[in-house]
Amino acid sequence: MSVELPADGTAAQGLRERKKERTRRTIREEAFRLFREQGYAETTIEQIAAAAEVSPSTFFRYFPTKEQLVLADDLDPLMIDALRAQPRDIPPLTAFRDAVAGVFANLPASELAFEQERQALLYHVPELRAAIGLELQRGIDLMAGLLAEHAGRDPDDFEVRVVAGAVAGIALGIAPLAPLNADNLGRALDFLEAGLPLGKQ
């Protein structure tokens, strides 16, 4: 029995998208290997392109700068989908904590290690530290939109922005001290939800 392929080119489009994702992933993996071997500042875009077996112009189609190669957060789409899948009748912070736990529980070890290495680069490479402020603002904007959607509020509501800022600040606060994983993020979110009860030790 013959199988009819979709006439709209869906199969071909899916193949192209998978090829593009493989190329993007290869560029990042080779870049991070070079960063480990010779340092971030010492690694050039030309070296990354050569290692990934692409041209520099292909590199720029995926990443406008070397900095953006590190800043790109592949967990964002996963977190967005996981948060949107949470029941609307639970508090926003609980929904976010459960979404984080779900994403990290299903994250392959290699991808978790990559994300932890990416975070370490952001916070320990002087050339990248200046971008942390922009990354934090992007995180607040993203979080405000998601929390507002979950709570049925406006993303520009004062309270929504305050909570979004607190949640986005969690990663900023713990990243230099502890690895980014479900346990540390969950502990931080529990502490935030409890009202930040910072007493004497």
Chunk the chain into consecutive blocks of 10 residues (it has 201) and report each block's average pLDDT, rounded to whole numbers.
50 83 95 96 97 97 94 91 94 91 93 90 86 85 93 94 91 82 90 84 61
Predicted confidence at residue 64, as pLDDT, reads 95
pLDDT of residue 130: 79
Q: For residue 199, count CB atoms less than 10 angstroms from its CB and return exposed for 0-12, middle for 13-18, buried for 19 or more.
A: exposed
In 3-state terms the chain splits into helix, strand, coil percentages (rounded to 5) of: 70, 0, 30
Exposure letters 173-198 (e unless 16+ CB within 10 A, then b): ebbeeeebebebbeebbeebeeeeee
Decide which of 3.20.20.70, 1.10.10.60, 3.90.190.20, 1.20.1260.10 is the CATH code for 1-66.
1.10.10.60
Span(s) in the chain for CATH 1.10.357.10: 73-196
- The pLDDT assigned to 134 comes to 81
CATH class of 73-196: mainly alpha
Predicted pLDDT at 9: 59
The whole-number pLDDT of residue 139 equals 87
pLDDT digits (tens, 9 = 90+) for 59-87: 999 999 999 999 998 999 999 999 999 99
Sequence ranges of the chain with CATH classification 1.10.10.60: 1-66
